[in-house]
Chains A and B, each alone.
Chain A
């Protein structure tokens, strides 16, 4: 059954340092997409980055990169040079190519960036 697991309920990182948020997934599909979303305290959901299951290179978007390890079924988000504005809830999500077109979300990781 498709599932997303985020094992870190909360994380702290010092400003300007890098941080890795963990995400593992379970699927029997060969074709799927993995997404990360940011939810600041204001509440909106902001799309950050996408990784396709057939993509050979790890996705990058500015200070965000996705460490994709297909054999381990992990899709960790790496934020480089953390900023105070990165303090937020982060959700990992997956969408399979077959089935019901749903997105499956993890429970989220709350990141706090310290000055």
Chain B
């Protein structure tokens, strides 16, 4: 079946540090992959997406590359800011399972000044 596995948090970084949040997936077909961000007390916002192998999604300095060979979609940012403190969710959606979304457990990031 389909599933998403994220690195467990919480992650605490100093401002301007490099961020990596690992995400790997299991899918029966060819999923689309997403990263969502949730700020405290809010819903989820789409951060970036990739729909096929080797695609790179990017937004607000965040990047993730769809790696079919390693079934991964790791989130990276070169220099984090305090305002990036949030919970990050990796997710997949696949045609063969009716495009249902599968979410990872979320990774909490705190950036300290």
Q: Do A and B bind each other?
A: no
Interface residues of A (CB under 8 A from B): none
